[in-house]
Chains A and B, each alone.
Chain A
């Protein structure tokens, strides 16, 4: 589903290395944690997948298509194959929960009927159906992240990308969000989660790709966060 071939990212402005010579393959339907200490390159990997940043070397393949060098006009269509969830939720503050989720459908030109049907379904799935008229500032952090999650999955994209999705949440809420991600994965969506929440990673027993100083130092099929390899 996602393949990095000898990829590297060096930031032009300060010469910082995001990651270097990373090769990895994430198959369809997998659930993958990308872990590592702060500054190890997790977000750089995520931003390259989202085409927010360009690779400085190597090849990137997403959904069997070469995504290394896409034109500006093609990027939105690539992004529609991926739902995204961030640490800071990124909700539109002057839109209700319903409108925030519906927005993802509006941009792909969904009909009013489809929106009426699929948005409540997505909200039910994340357990937020009773808050659809609320605005983001009336919600708890967990509820905001559920809204973001509903927005990410409402178009049923094949891939779900999360960068520190539980970074702003208390442990209990963090677990609820993780179990939602697990549910989504069980329905067939490929899920990639960058995180440094070691307890969650240890508890989930998923594939773990560990980064350190921008290099892959471990890739374990049913790993934990802190195995003694690094």
Chain B
């Protein structure tokens, strides 16, 4: 496509947008709303994923070691557990360390009481086990339970919480995919309607172009560019809103959650932005091309 043609196509597209300015602006804004919901529902999904990751890391499994097992036996057992496929780390908590941890959580009389147990420590040794993948929690748990009576006497795991979180995460994912598809479809329909209006207004023009010997593509290009302009502007607005709005939104959510929020870290806005901004902008372009292509097709049969 030569420079002259490109210039002609862009001028034609700009004329189309300008002539239908009200309709163009309103459909760009509607696309913006769709894309805004998209980008924030993606942020939600990303954050839930991130929380889960944090919680999975914290909610390891604790396995308590039989007092009868020697230290060497305990070390053998530790290596055996570490060899499990989904196990990330296995840390031995000695009796002394267990007491310290317990004492650190208390104050005053209770703390003194715990300290007084130092010489006749009733606490067991334990293994703190972290996992590679929270979703496979149950498999690992079964493997550990199989060791009960072989040096381990109890296994503690917060499996209900982890299970619920994994489920919640999956629900959020499915819902986001659904939202993406629905809003993408909606955006295409909106742009289709706008371009249809312009195409309709230029039906005679298109007819004339065909008589003079214009190819279908020559006629289509301005309309496609028009769709892209609308789609791109529609996408640009939510990207800008996200860039400036994500930080304050996270702050707002944090203050609403109060002290609970201090336990969780939120995803950095930049992490989401570098992925979502290009995706949303290209979605704008694709939606624009699709919308205008669909609406012009039937007018080209002359």
Give residues in A with beta carbon < 8 Å to B: 50, 52, 72-73, 76-80, 84, 90-94, 103-104, 106-112, 115, 151
The smallest C-beta distance from A27 to any residue of chain B, in angstroms, reads 23
Per the bound structure, the CA–CA distance linking A79 and B218 in Å amounts to: 14
Contact B8 A106 (CB under 8 A): yes
B207's nearest neighbour on chain A, judged by CB, is A90
Range for the number of chain B residues in contact with chain A: 10 to 19
Q: Is B208 an interface residue (CB 8 A)?
A: yes
A128 to chain B, nearest CB (A): 18
Q: In the complex, A77 Cα to B216 Cα: how many Å?
A: 11
Contact across chains for A112 and B212 when beta carbons are under 8 A apart: no
Q: Which residues of B contact A106 (CB under 8 A)?
A: 4-5, 8
Q: How far is the CA of A104 from the CA of B302 in the complex (A)?
A: 17
Residues in B with CB closer than 8 Å to A50 are 211
Cα–Cα distance between A93 and B205 once the two chains are bound (Å):
8
User: Would A76 and B4 be within 8 Å (CB), given that A90-B208, A91-B208, A92-B208 are in contact?
Assistant: no
Distance from B211 Cβ to chain A, minimum over Cβ atoms (Å)? 5
Bound-complex Cα distance A151 to B4 (A): 18
| A111 close to B211 (CB less than 8 A) | no
**In the complex, residue of chain A having the shortest beta-carbon distance to the beta carbon of B301:** A72
Q: Specify which chain A residues have a CB less than 8 angstroms from the CB of B4 in the assembled complex.
A: 106, 109-112, 115
- Shortest distance in angstroms between A106's beta carbon and chain B's nearest beta carbon? 5
- Cα distance, A78 to B216, chains bound together (Å): 14
Q: Is the CB of A107 within 8 A of B211?
A: no
Find chain B residues with CB under 8 A from A151 CB: 212
Chain A residue contacts of B15, Cβ below 8 A: 94
Question: When A and B form their complex, which 10 residue pairs have the shortest distance between CB atoms, in order from nearest?
Answer: A79-B213, A80-B213, A107-B214, A76-B215, A76-B213, A90-B208, A104-B212, A92-B205, A106-B8, A84-B211
CB distance from A145 to the nearest CB of B (A): 14
Contact partners of B8 in chain A: CB under 8 A: 106
Chain B: which residue is nearest A109 at the CB level?
A: B2
CB closest residue in chain B, given A83: B212
Could you list some 5 contacts between A and B, CB below 8 A? A50-B211, A76-B216, A94-B15, A103-B212, A112-B4
A79 with B212, Cβ < 8 A, contacts A92-B205, A107-B218 known: yes
Complex Cα spacing A13 to B209, Å: 25
Interface of chain B: mostly helix, strand, loop or mixed: helix
Q: Give chain B residues whose Cβ lies under 8 Å from the Cβ of A76.
A: 210, 213-216, 218
Chain B hits for A78, CB < 8 A: 213
Which A residues are in CB contact (< 8 Å) with B215? 73, 76, 107
Query: Smallest CB-CB separation from B211: which chain A residue?
Result: A84
Rounded to whole angstroms, the CA-CA distance of A25 and B121 in the bound complex is 117
Q: Which residue of A lies closest to B15 (CB)?
A: A94
Nearest to B4 among chain A residues (CB) is A112
A84 contact from B205, B212, B214, Cβ within 8 A: B212
The interface residues of chain A lying within 8 Å CB-to-CB of B211 are 50, 52, 79, 84, 90
Contact (Cβ within 8 A) B208 A77: no
| Contact assessment for B218 and A111 in the assembled complex, using a CB-CB cutoff below 8 Å | no
Give the chain A neighbours of B2 by CB distance below 8 A: 109, 111
The residues in B between 191 and 225 inclusive whose CB is less than 8 angstroms from any CB of A are 204-205, 207-216, 218
In the bound complex, how far is the Cα of B6 from the Cα of A106, in angstroms? 10
Q: Apart from A106-B8, A107-B212, what are 15 other A-B pairs with CB-CB below 8 Å? A: A52-B211, A52-B302, A76-B215, A76-B216, A76-B218, A91-B208, A103-B209, A106-B5, A107-B209, A107-B214, A107-B215, A107-B218, A108-B213, A109-B2, A110-B4
A140: min CB distance to chain B, Å? 20
Q: Are A107 and B208 in contact (CB under 8 A)?
A: no
Give B3's nearest chain A residue, CB to CB.
Answer: A112
Q: Which chain A positions have C-beta within 8 A of B209?
A: 103, 107
- Encoded as 1 (CB less than 8 Å from any A CB) or 0, chain B from 1 to 24 comes to 010110010000001000000000
In the assembled complex, how far is the CB of residue B124 from the closest CB belonging to chain A, in whole angstroms? 82
In the assembled complex, the Cα of A76 lies from the Cα of B220 at a distance in Å of 14
**How far is B215's CA from A50's CA once the two chains are assembled, in angstroms?**
14
With both chains docked as a complex, state the minimum distance between the C-beta of B202 and any C-beta of chain A, in angstroms.
9
Chain A nearest CB from B212 CB (Å) reads 5
Which of A76, A78, A93, A115 counts the most B-chain CB atoms under 10 A from its CB? A76
Which residue of chain B lies nearest to A79 when distances are taken between CB atoms in the complex? B213
Measured between C-beta atoms, what is the minimum distance from A79 to chain B in Å?
4
Among residues of B, the one whose C-beta sits closest to the C-beta of A105 is: B4
**Chain A residues closer than 8 Å to B216, beta-carbon distance:** 72-73, 76
- Shortest distance between the CB of A63 and any CB in chain B (Å): 14
**Chain B residues with CB under 8 A of A90:** 204, 207-208, 211
Q: Quick check: B208 and A109 within 8 Å, CB to CB?
A: no
* B210 partner residues in chain A, CB cutoff 8 A: 76, 79
Complex CA gap A107/B8 in Å reads 10
